[in-house]
């Protein structure tokens, strides 16, 4: 064998030894717990995606008007939040919060920022207070007072109603992009008039200023009165369409599909003082509608 041949053989053995050393080192790293490419990904399951709608939110804030405050449900011209359909703790109601969180949970993780007399223009401020609690669900019922004004002409214009609702939703979304929203429709005020006008006491209470655009001159059935009530009813329907349209643009917002508007409140579901606001039984019916909507698998 020539000297050149010996040198080439020596180099070949050196290369093979180096390759073997690298291979052994890699194998040794794997055996000792080192990561192979893609090993961590294969062993770690992908995180479960957050559902767009959680049927069991862990906290509830309520915003809105006198209905959500339980006005006239327990005593005349008085709020009674313990029977609120949204957050009340009364066993007679089984409010939305109690049904979702349990009675103990509702006591510590539900908040009511509704106000008697509130209109849609008040909703952004109420929402700003609610977001400080970081609720997983916000329950909304507002709009009746926008139609219940001193006259038809004073009712909130539909586009102002829309702008204020959109502003309230922006307030929520800028702070809490994943919080869910349940929106109840505005009740059929004409239906409430037709039921309550059978009560002499109720009509006397109405004269104190409850929804004069609909309830004023409660016994009048002339053309002017009929047209006035029809105009108020149409405005309520327009408000409900706004609620539906704005909510539909938000993937984490659900309306009741018009169930509150369609619900045929009878005398048993109306306050025995004003025959217009929901009674305790009426509040319970609102809670049922809300809970059914929130826990439904789809909108």
CATH number for position 211: 3.40.50.1110
Instruction: Output the pLDDT for position 298.
Output: 83
Instruction: Output the pLDDT for position 47.
Output: 53
Gap between the Cα atoms of 157 and 112, Å rounded:
27
CB atoms within 10 A of CB 207: 12
What pTM, to 2 d.p., does this model score? Answer: 0.83
The verdict on 150 and 283 lying in the same domain is yes
Structural domain boundaries enclosing 32: 3-43
CB atoms within 10 A of CB 125: 16
The verdict on 142 and 261 lying in the same domain is yes
Distance from chain centroid for Cα 189? 22
Number of domains within the chain: 2
The verdict on 212 and 121 lying in the same domain is yes
Written as tens digits, the pLDDT of the chain (299 aa) is 444 444 444 444 444 444 344 333 433 333 333 344 444 444 444 555 567 899 999 999 999 999 999 999 999 999 999 999 999 999 999 999 999 999 999 999 999 999 999 999 999 999 999 999 999 999 999 999 999 999 999 999 999 999 999 999 999 999 999 999 999 999 999 999 999 998 888 898 899 889 999 999 999 999 999 999 999 999 999 999 999 999 999 999 999 999 999 999 999 999 999 999 999 999 999 999 999 999 999 87
Give, in order, the Cα–Cα distances in Å from 280 to each of 15, 26, 116, 151: 90, 74, 17, 29
The verdict on 99 and 15 lying in the same domain is no
Q: Name the E strands within 65-115.
A: 110-112
> Is 55 a member of any domain?
no
Q: What are phi and psi of 110, to 5 degrees?
A: -140, 145
The verdict on 196 and 286 lying in the same domain is yes
> Is 51 a member of any domain?
no
């Amino acid at each position: 064998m020539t000297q050149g041949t010996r040198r080439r053989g020596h180099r070949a053995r050196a290369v093979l030894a180096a390759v073997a050393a690298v291979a052994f080192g890699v194998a040794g790293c794997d055996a000792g717990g080192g990561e192979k490419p893609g090993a961590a990904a294969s062993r770690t399951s992908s995180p479960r995606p957050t559902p767009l709608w959680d049927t069991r939110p862990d906290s509830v804030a309520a915003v809105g008007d006198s209905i959500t405050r339980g006005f006239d449900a327990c005593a005349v011209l008085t709020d009674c939040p313990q029977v609120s359909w949204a957050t009340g703790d009364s066993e007679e109601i089984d409010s939305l919060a109690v049904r979702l969180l349990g009675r103990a949970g509702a006591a510590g993780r539900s908040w009511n920022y509704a106000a008697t007399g509130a209109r849609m223009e008040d909703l952004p401020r109420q929402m700003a207070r609610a977001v400080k609690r970081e609720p997983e669900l916000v329950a909304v019922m507002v709009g009746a007072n926008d139609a219940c004004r001193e006259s038809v002409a004073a009712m909130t214009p539909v586009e102002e109603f829309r702008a204020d609702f959109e502003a309230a939703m922006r307030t929520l979304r800028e702070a809490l992009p994943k919080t869910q929203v349940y929106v109840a429709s505005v009740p059929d005020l004409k239906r409430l008039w037709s039921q309550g006008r059978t009560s002499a006491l109720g009509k006397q209470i109405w004269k104190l200023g409850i929804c004069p655009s609909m309830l004023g001159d409660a016994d009048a059935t002339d053309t002017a009165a009929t047209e006035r009530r029809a105009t108020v009813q149409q405005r309520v329907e327009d408000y409900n369409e706004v609620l539906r349209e704005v909510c539909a643009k938000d993937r984490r917002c659900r309306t009741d599909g018009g169930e509150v508007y369609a619900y045929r409140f009878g005398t048993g579901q109306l306050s025995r003082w004003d025959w217009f606001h929901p009674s305790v039984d009426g509040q319970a019916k609102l809670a049922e509608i809300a809970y059914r909507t929130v826990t439904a698998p789809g909108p």
